[in-house]
């Protein structure tokens, strides 16, 4: 045939089709996004985020407390694991409180609101009694329990304000009284100001800022009008400005925002060395336990500035991991507050989320040099049993609220437990597996089968 030297017909080659890699990749990305969104929208997502995020923060905090506190303990002629053992004991007790709070019904949480408030106020009054209260770092906010154990009642005042304020606003909403500004403010704002006054008698402005944030969070959730909200905020800002202006120590802290040099008299020593610790960590840090700043250069390395030691030893990766865990915890709390129909659950979940988020922002902002040093610990992370116990109880509240959502309750009821119980939406729907097998075996023997 013409055109072929071997006499064979030429091979007809089909034209190659253009590869569809672009659309295929887009479809793969779209499918991955759809799966991630479905997983994110599952009923138990908030439950797992709160439980897993809080436990990871606590465990990582224990590791960093052990690493950051060894030098301080040795300088005080104490065993290197002294502070770690105390924090571990507090974490065990706090874990018990978390478990109890997560299993308590909402009615019992509401019933505990007034006793917790009365107990917190009573302890905060005892702090000011000579011979009972004690001063730590210039703040008269502690009560000695004997030995090396102290308690800070103002930390329990945060939990008291959340529970009592949520119960108060929920009862007023049921009676449709929140539309009147008098009922929205009274007695919530006066009681909150009473707690703030007791705290400021001891000079602890950092805790007072957190308590103010909780108050504003509750008012925001209650739907306070903008004028009312701005009015209360203006009063609080004016009082805060006066308290800062009249205290040389607070003015010095305010002037250390963004400082890169310790300044005259080393007034900004702590703030600057916190930046040094973060800067020397790099991407992945110098290694666990290899911090240099904790060797006496950075004050309060295991309490208020533990985030700086984390950045030095674990680097940017470690600090971003901590931030991601707190962001997940905050998102889960907002999700619980937004999806519930119970007003008490909405106010309590919003109050706890405001408390933890605001305290984390203030602590991390101070370490980064973006905010003045307020002397507040990083929730669930820094050393301090007085801060850890009420915070873990509050996390138990969020877990209980997340479990109490109708969709989450149904999802938990549909699970198959380990011991053979079969659950449906209404509880137990089938007998134990081994009992069923036993009845089958007895029936087989009665019929003559072997």
- What are 200-241's pLDDT values in tens digits? 988 888 999 999 999 999 999 998 888 887 887 888 888 888
> Distance between CA atoms of 306 and 294, rounded to whole angstroms?
9
pLDDT at 164 over 60: yes
Residues making up the chain, counted from first to last: 450
- Give the whole-angstrom CA distance, residue 15 versus residue 217: 67
pLDDT tens digits, 169-189: 999 999 999 988 888 889 999
Q: Is the dihedral of CA 243, 245, 251, 253 positive or negative?
A: positive
With b for 16 or more beta-carbon neighbours within 10 A and e for fewer, the 240-266 pattern comes to beeeeeeeeebeebeebeeeeeeeeee
| Strands 139-146 and 422-424, bridge-based pairing | unpaired
Is pLDDT above 70 for 15? no
Candidates 259, 216, 258, 207; CA nearest to 237 is 216
CB 426 within 8 A of CB 413: yes
Of 261, 278, 425, 251, which Cα lies nearest the Cα of 365?
Answer: 278
Burial 99-122 (b: 16+ CB within 10 A, else e): eebbeeebeebbebbeebbeebbe
Mean pLDDT (the chain, rounded): 86
Q: From the centroid of its chain, how far is CA 151?
A: 21
Decide: 196 and 161 in contact? Cβ < 8 Å: no
Q: What is the pLDDT of residue 332?
A: 96
Predicted local confidence at residue 8, as pLDDT: 56
- The answer to whether 215 touches 188, Cβ cutoff 8 Å, is yes
pLDDT of residue 9: 57
pLDDT score, position 434? 39
The pLDDT of residue 162: 97
Distance between CA atoms of residues 140 and 76, nearest Å: 22
Burial class (CB in 10 A: 0-12, 13-18, 19+), 78: middle
User: Cβ(46)–Cβ(332) under 8 Å?
Assistant: yes
8 Å CB contact between 224 and 159 = no
Q: How many Å apart are CA 360 and CA 366, to the nearest integer?
A: 10
Pairwise CA distance, residues 59 & 42, whole Å: 26
- For residue 235 the two structure tokens come to 């009063």
Report the alpha-carbon distance of residue 145 to residue 297 in Å, rounded.
30
Give dist(CA 251, CA 181) in Å, integer: 35
Residues 394-426 have pLDDT tens digits of 999 999 999 988 788 888 788 755 444 444 444
Indicate if the pLDDT at residue 373 is higher than 50. yes
**299-325 pLDDT, tens per residue?**
999 999 999 999 999 999 999 999 999
Note every long-range contact of 319-325, with CB atoms under 8 Å and residues 24 or more positions apart, other chains counting.
Answer: 319/278, 319/281, 321/60, 322/57, 322/60, 322/381, 323/364, 325/53, 325/56, 325/57, 325/60
Instruction: Give every CB contact of residue 300 below 8 A, 6+ residues apart in sequence.
Output: 270
- In this prediction, residues 339-359 reach a mean pLDDT of 96
> With pLDDT > 70 as the criterion, what percentage of the chain qualifies?
87
Three-state SS for the chain is CCCCCCCCCCCCCCCCCCCCHHHHHHHHHHHHHHHHHHHHCCCCHHHHHHHHHHHHHHHHHHHHHHHHHHHHHHHCCCCCCHHHHHHHHHHHHHHHHHHHHHHCCHHHHHHCHHHHHHHHHHHHHHHCCCCCEEEECCEEEEEEEECCEEECHHHHHHHHHHHHHHHHHHHHHHCCCCCCHHHHHCCHHHHHHHHHHHHHHCCCHHHHHHHHHHHHHHHHHCCCCHHHHHHHHHHHHHHHHHHHHCCHHHHHHHHCCCCCCCCHHHCCHHHHHHHHHHHHHCCCCCCCCCCCCCCCCCCCCCCCCHHHHHHHHHHHHHHHHHHHHHHHHHHHHHHHHHHCCCHHHHHHHHHHHHHHHHHHHHHHHHHCCCCCCCCCCCCCCCCCHHHHHHHHHHHHHHHHHHHCCHHHHHHHHCCCCCCCCEEECCEEEECCHHHHHHHHHHHHHHCCCC
């Amino acid at each position: 045939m013409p055109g072929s030297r071997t006499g064979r017909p030429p091979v007809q080659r089909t034209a190659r089709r253009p590869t569809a890699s672009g659309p295929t990749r887009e479809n793969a990305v779209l499918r991955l996004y759809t799966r991630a969104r479905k997983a994110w929208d599952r009923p138990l997502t908030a439950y797992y985020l709160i439980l897993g995020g809080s436990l990871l923060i606590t465990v990582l905090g224990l590791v960093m407390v052990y690493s950051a506190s060894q030098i301080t303990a040795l300088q005080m002629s104490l065993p290197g694991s002294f502070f770690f053992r105390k924090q571990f004991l507090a974490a065990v007790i706090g874990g018990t409180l978390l478990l109890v709070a997560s299993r308590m019904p909402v009615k019992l949480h509401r019933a505990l609101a007034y006793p917790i408030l009365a107990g917190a106020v009573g302890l905060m009054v005892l702090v000011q009694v000579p011979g009972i209260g004690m001063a730590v770092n210039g703040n008269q906010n502690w009560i000695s329990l004997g030995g090396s154990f102290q308690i800070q009642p103002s930390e329990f005042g945060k939990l008291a304000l959340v529970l009592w304020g949520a119960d108060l606003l929920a009862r007023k909403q049921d009676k449709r009284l929140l539309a009147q500004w008098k009922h929205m403010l009274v007695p919530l704002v006066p009681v909150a100001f009473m707690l703030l006054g007791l705290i400021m008698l001891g000079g602890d402005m950092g805790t007072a800022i957190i308590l103010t944030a909780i108050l504003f969070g509750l008012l925001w959730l209650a739907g306070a009008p903008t004028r009312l909200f701005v009015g209360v905020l203006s009063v609080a800002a004016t009082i805060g400005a006066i308290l800062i202006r009249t205290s040389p120590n607070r003015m010095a802290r305010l002037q250390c925002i963004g400082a890169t040099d310790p300044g005259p008299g080393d007034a900004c020593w702590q703030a600057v060395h916190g930046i040094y610790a973060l800067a020397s960590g790099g991407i992945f840090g110098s290694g666990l336990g290899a911090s240099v700043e904790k060797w006496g250069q950075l004050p309060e390395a295991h309490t208020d500035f533990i985030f700086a030691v984390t950045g030095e030893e674990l680097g940017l990766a470690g600090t971003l991991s901590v931030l991601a865990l707190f962001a997940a915890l905050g998102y889960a709390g907002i999700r619980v507050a937004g999806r519930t129909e119970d007003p008490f659950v909405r106010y309590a979940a919003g109050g706890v989320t405001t408390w933890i988020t605001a305290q984390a922002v203030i602590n991390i902002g101070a370490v980064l040099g973006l905010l003045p040093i307020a002397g507040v610990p990083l929730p669930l992370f820094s050393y301090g049993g007085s801060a850890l116990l009420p915070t873990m109880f509050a996390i138990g509240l969020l877990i209980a609220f997340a479990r109490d959502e109708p969709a989450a309750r149904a999802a938990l009821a549909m699970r198959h437990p380990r011991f053979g119980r079969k659950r449906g939406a209404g509880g137990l729907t089938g007998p134990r597996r081994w009992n069923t097998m036993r009845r089958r075996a007895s029936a087989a023997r009665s019929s003559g089968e072997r």
